[in-house]
Structure 1
Amino acid sequence: MEATSPSTSLWKKILGLVLAFGPGIFAIGYTIGTGSVTSMIVAGSTYGMQLLWVLLLSCFFSGVLIYVYGNYALLTGETALFAFKKHLRFGKLIAILIILGISFGQWNSLMGILGISSNIIFEIIHIYFPSVGDHQYETVLIVAITVIAIFYALLLVGKYTFFEKILVIFVTIMAFSFLISLFMVYPLPIEVAQGLIPSIPKVQGGQMMVAAFVGTTMAAATFLSRPLFVQGKGWTIQHLKQQKKDAIIAASLVFFISATIMAVACGALYHQGQPVTKVIDMVGVLEPVAGKFALTLFFFGTLSAGLSSIFPCLLIAPILVADYQSGKLDTSSKQFRIITFIACLFALIVPIFGANPIEMQILSQVFNVFVLPLVIIGILLLINNKKLMGEHKTSFLINISLFAALFFSLIISYNGIMAIIGY
């Protein structure tokens, strides 16, 4: 037998660690898409590291909610919306409002994701083949149709484990791309420290940016889908510790990757006085500062973020409907195929009409905030129901964290309403 070299052994360990990731990979897929990347780039290029504290709070509360929803599923065997409908007063109405709100937010987000991802592919091609610049609209549209068609074909496989592996690949590429970019362009340590002191930019668009931050890092879709993906993974009450570890890793990675993106944008763009408002802005300013290689790496990270979010965004409406109907993860029925096909057509709106995908993306993240208080109130009522939880009493610390998350979400929702009125 041939001896395994140390380098081969190391790669096998890394690969095993990556592939061992659980349902938390979907939390990262939902949270860090082009919506998150766009918000972080716009914030980093416009306000420096000033909004790092918002990101930290959002990721902490997000981790608590991922953990609590996952735990509820393992302890009771029930999924979120099915439990709302079954146990809460006005639960059916609450569940329907949540489905409508999240589907609207995620489908709007999907338009922006596909628009930005298609533009990024175009920009990568344009870096090396400048002649395609004369046919931007046609190229972007063809790319968008091709991307969404490939993802729809992959969805027809209908297996949880397959979706998980695809997401692992995209998230890994994304994380490494942004990390390498950070070594090339980074902010001053004092700017990072100052970013942890709570403050809101007192400029036009500052309030909307804060709401968009929370909308993308505390995405209600992440928590509601958690019980379904825990179910798809095959976890039971014996996996409580594994579920907790998975939730902590997911929230930590969301913060680490998002903060890295903001830091790269701050280091490369903020001090140039060049805030990002369009995808093309990322090219003109970043290339002279970071070079073509760093720019390509950063674009591949952003592209991977977008592609890793297309899967979850296409999945969300049909799996929430199935959750409401039966409390089961459904990825192979006719209903699933029809709803995801409609979502694919919806995704093409931005590329077809040539709208600004970054503006659409930030607005969609703001809309995501409004469902959040309902989602937090719902789980608070469920986990404190003694008949449901039996001997599994919810800890004081978890309750305090959830009430703090609810208070935070209400403030941000109000902030989002003011921002949209102002917009």
Structure 2
Amino acid sequence: MESRIHGLPFIKKLIAILLAFGPGIFAIGYTIGTGSVTSMIVAGSTYGMQLLWVLLLSCIFSGLLMFVYGNYALLTNETALFAFKKHLKWGKWIAILIIIGVSFGQWNSLMGILGISANIIFEIIRIYVPGLTDYQYESVLIIAILIIVLMYALLLVGKYSFFEKILVVFVAVMGFSFLISLLFVYPQPTEVLQGLVPSVPEVKGGKMMVAAFVGTTMAAATFLSRPLFVKGKGWTDKNLKQQKKDAIIAACLVFLISGAVMAVASGALFHQGQPVSKVLDMVGTLEPVAGKFALTLFFFGTLSAGLSSIFPCLLIAPILISDFQSGNLDTNSKQFKLITAFACLFALIVPVFGANPIEMQIVSQVFNVFVLPLVILGILILVNQKKFKKVYRTKLIINIGLIAALFFSVVISFNGATALFQYF
């Protein structure tokens, strides 16, 4: 195997390495989208690196939850919501509530993601073809329709391995674009260290931003879909170590890429006193600092973040419903095709009405935190039931981590509810 990979060109070798990560690539796709990028840019440009600690904690807990959900699936051959329904008291209604909450949050995000992605493509083209400015609405709408039609066509292929390869391309472009952008503009090392000390900006929107950070980085959809993607990969209880490694790598990459976005915004804009409220504001503010090449590179990263999120967001509702019904995802079923088609039409709402998706994008990230305590509590109970202990005894350190994650999610949910109350 090693000799075969060694003979491949560099790009093919890189893709082979990325594919070896497994279902973690979906976790990165779910987690880092234009909503996440927007949150990181707004935070970096407004607060510097002050919220880096929130990102770090969210990624640590995300890695833990991916590991626990993946382990449970490999050891029991049961998926998340199916296990909730089968083993938990009131599990059926808890599962239904989670399906509604997660799907609502992801579809709301999908509207914003498609709108922002279409606008980013338009802005990249406009940098080199300024004459398109007079046809912005028409151009953005056509781009949005082309994107969503292409994504739906790719979904109809209906194979896990194909989905994985598409996401590998998007995630690789996104990661390298943001990390290379970091070479052009970066914060001081002391600011990075200070950002690891817990503090909340005592300004309007500070609490909202903290909740949005957790909502986008510690996303319930990532953990709930993990068992189905692990099964789709063909892993069994013989792949426990590989599953653990995959969860750790995914969490580290989410922290590295998201941190790079925040750092670029902080280094370029925070000290210039130029906070941004939307990604597209960076066209005018980042270019003088980093140059046209760095700007284009950063926007390609942001676009890849959007495209890598559209794909999993379209999948989330049929994934959760299939999980609840049988614990198996049939991507060739009529149900799958109808739900994803409806999601595609739903995603076009923002581009069709020409609305500004940015503010609602951040608000939708906050809504994602409210189902998080249920998702963590559910798996905490499952892995400590007598039936499961006969198969695998959950370590004390894992239980402590899950309890800490539950406490963190409850605090953030309360914080998010307070922020939304103040917002509305």
TM-score range, shorter chain: over 0.9
Question: Which residue number in structure 2 is paired with residue 380 of structure 1?
Answer: 380
Opposite residue 257 of structure 1, the aligned amino acid is I
Partner of 1:161: 161
Partner in structure 1 of residue 179 of structure 2: 179
Asked if 1:408 corresponds to 2:413, the answer is: no
Identity of paired residues, percent?
76
Partner of 1:195: 195
Q: How many residues are matched?
A: 419
Amino acid at match of 1:260: A
Q: Which residue of 2 aligns with 1:251?
A: 251
Higher mean C-alpha deviation, range 15-24 or range 195-204:
15-24
Q: Please give the secondary structure, in 1, of the residue aligned with 2:394.
A: coil
**Residues in 2 aligned to 1:416 and 1:154: alpha-carbon distance in whole angstroms:** 35
Q: CA deviation digits over 1:44-69, x for unaligned, max 9?
A: 01100000000000000000000000
Q: Partner residue of 1:399? A: 399
The answer to whether the 8 Å contact 2:21/2:249 transfers is no
| 1:388 to partner: Cα distance | 2.9
Checking the alignment, whether the CA contact within 8 Å between 1:119 and 1:279 is kept in structure 2 is no
The reply to whether residue 339 of structure 1 matches residue 306 of structure 2 is no
8 Å Cα contact 2:45-2:275 kept in structure 1: yes
Query: Post-superposition shift, 1:138?
Result: 1.0
Q: Is the 2:41–2:279 Cα contact (8 Å) retained in structure 1?
A: no
Does the 8 Å contact 1:386/1:393 carry over to 2?
Answer: no
Q: What amino acid maps onto 1:191 in structure 2?
A: E
Q: What amino acid maps onto 2:33 in structure 1?
A: G
The 3 A distance-change label for structure 1 pair 108 and 196 is same
Q: For residues 12 and 294 of structure 2, what CA distance do their matches in structure 1 show?
A: 27
1:267 corresponds in structure 2 to 267
CA deviation string 1:283-331 (max 9, x = no partner): 0101111100000000000000000000100000011101100010221
Rounded Cα–Cα distance in structure 2 between residues aligned with 1:285 and 1:59: 29
State the one-letter code of the partner of 1:56. Answer: L
**CA–CA separation in structure 1 for the residues paired with 2:165 and 2:119:** 25
Q: Is the contact between residue 40 and residue 261 of structure 1 (CA under 8 Å) also seen in structure 2?
A: yes
TM (norm. structure 2) is: 0.97
Pair 1:259–1:7, CA change in 2 (3 A): farther
* Equivalent runs, 1:234-383 vs 2, <5 Å: 234-383=234-383
How many Å apart are 1:389 and its aligned residue?
A: 3.6
Q: Is the 2:71–2:240 contact (alpha carbons within 8 Å) kept by the matching residues of 1?
A: yes
- With over 3 angstroms needed to count, the CA separation of the structure-2 counterparts of 1:316 and 1:44, relative to structure 1, is same
> Aligned-pair distance for 1:278?
2.8
User: Amino acid of the residue matched to residue 186 of structure 2?
Assistant: Y
What is the correspondence of 1:55-70 to structure 2 with a 5 Å cutoff? Answer: 55-70=55-70
Change (3 A) 1:279 1:56: closer
Amino acid at match of 2:269: L
TM superposition outliers: structure 1 runs of 4+ over 3 Å: 6-13
Counterpart contact for 1:111–1:357, Cα < 8 Å: yes
For the residues of structure 1 that align with 2:161 and 2:400, how far apart are their CA atoms?
A: 35
**How has the CA–CA distance of structure 1 residues 103 and 8 changed in structure 2, closer, same or farther, with 3 Å as cutoff?**
closer
Q: Extract unaligned runs of 5+ from structure 1.
A: none
Partners of 2:78 and 2:327 within 8 A in 1? yes
Q: Which one-letter code corresponds to 2:59 in the other structure? A: C
Alpha carbons of structure 1 residues 219 and 293: separation in structure 2 relative to 1, 3 Å: same
- How far does residue 8 in structure 1 lie from its aligned partner after superposition? 6.1
Aligned-partner Cα distance in 1 for 2:101–2:348: 20
Whether the aligned pair in 2 keeps the contact of 1:76 and 1:389 (CA below 8 Å) is no
Which string of whole-angstrom CA distances, capped at 9 and with x for unpartnered residues, describes residues 264-299 of structure 1?
000111112111113331101011111000000000
Distance of 1:253 and 1:140 partners within structure 2: 31
Contact 1:46 1:270 in 2 (8 A): yes
| Secondary structure, aligned partner of 1:58 | helix
What is the CA–CA distance in structure 1 between the aligned matches of 2:347 and 2:14, rounded to whole Å?
35
Q: CA deviation at 1:14?
A: 2.7
Give TM-score, length-normalised by structure 1. Answer: 0.97
Residue matched to 2:418: 418
Tell me, in whole angstroms, the C-alpha distance in 2 between the residues paired with 1:106 and 1:274: 30
Letter in 2 for 1:368: N
Secondary structure in structure 2 of the residue aligned to 1:234: coil
CA distance in structure 2 between the aligned counterparts of 1:109 and 1:93, rounded to whole angstroms: 24
Q: Secondary structure at the match of 2:201?
A: coil
